Amino acid sequence: MIINNENLDIKQIAESGQCFRMNALEDNKYRTVAYGRYIELTQIDETTVDFSCTEEEFNEIWKDYFDLSYDYKRIVDRLLSGKDEFLKKSADFGKGIRILRQEPFEALISFIISQNKNIPAIKTCIEGICREYGEPVKTPQGIMNEYYTFPTPEALAFANREDLRKLKTGYRDEYIIQAARAVYEGELDLQALVESSHEVAVEALMRLKGVGMKVANCVSLFGLHHIEAFPVDVWIKKILDDVYDGKFDLNLYSGYAGIVQQYMFYYIRSAQLIG
């Protein structure tokens, strides 16, 4: 399934820190698991990607997952024609990034794990949790024993602390279990938060222990697709302090601040050659 899009760069998406299960198989070829499916993505040229799936599966899952109905070029062009030099460089550098529509529960648990960890450590931890609590991915060709789905709320709600700690969660073990229980028992309705406003979602998420302002904004942005969310982590804070001297005006980008945030994040990290 060949897709042409001016703003679709798999490497940039995989390295943008929004998802943790998209990994390189070789140069220009990545794989990931989402919504119970495995897929390989090959960047053929700057604007062309080969999705290793049928047209039916593409339309059912991956078109939405990669947010392919949204016009990112409009956002990039707006930034490129603006006056903010840092954002011009950021948007030009990361113009192939898109905000994935990840599964809300996966985003919630992933960003709970992410606190005070670097990205390689987050990936290791999440892969372990998928291996122990997820299911082997099923394909039309059979079961793939090397790839696992992200666990269900139920699977993690009944996990125990010691087992999670062996998977390198550290002190976050109880946060994970409590969040999974809240979702499993219906106390936290993530699907309802997809429909709600970003503000309502953040407030509901922050009632969970282990979910503060930053994690709630990441879940809102990457799991609920509220693209006005603007997570501030140590990297973004560095930019707001050093580049903008504390005077960055979020209101200039209201409605799509999360996309701007991703360009900033990807640019500053790449500029500092951090993996």
- Select from 15-23, 70-78, 178-186, 187-195 the region that touches DNA (CB under 7 A): 15-23
Q: Can residue 32 be called a binding residue for DNA (CB under 7 A)?
A: no
What is the per-residue binding string for DNA in 77-116, x denoting contact by CB under 7 A? ----------------------------------x--xxx
Q: Can residue 128 be called a binding residue for DNA (CB under 7 A)?
A: no
Q: Which two tokens stand for residue 143?
A: 């079961």
Number of residues that bind DNA (CB under 7 A): 40
Contact with DNA (CB under 7 A): which of 124, 139, 196, 270? 124
Q: Can residue 209 be called a binding residue for DNA (CB under 7 A)?
A: yes
| Nearest residue to 137 via CA among 149, 152, 126 | 149
Q: Can residue 12 be called a binding residue for DNA (CB under 7 A)?
A: no
Give residues with Cβ within 8 angstroms of 203, minimum separation 6: none
Return d(Cα 78, Cα 169) in angstroms, integer: 41
User: Residue 72, exposed/middle/buried by CB under 10 A (0-12, 13-18, 19+)?
Assistant: buried
CB closer to DNA out of 94 and 153: 94
Near DNA in 232-251, by CB under 7 A: 232-236
Q: Can residue 171 be called a binding residue for DNA (CB under 7 A)?
A: yes
SS (H, E, C) 1-13: CEEECCCCCHHHH
Q: Can residue 261 be called a binding residue for DNA (CB under 7 A)?
A: yes
Name the residue with tokens 């372990």: 128
Least distance to DNA from the beta carbon of 94, Å?
11
| Strand ranges inside 83-199, DSSP E | 136-139, 142-148
Near DNA in 141-170, by CB under 7 A: 165, 168, 170
Residue 223 DSSP class: I
Residue 219 DSSP class: I
Q: Which two tokens stand for residue 177?
A: 């279990």
Q: Which residues bind DNA (CB under 7 A)?
A: 16-18, 111, 114-122, 124, 165, 168, 170-171, 208-216, 218, 231-236, 261-262, 265, 269, 274-275
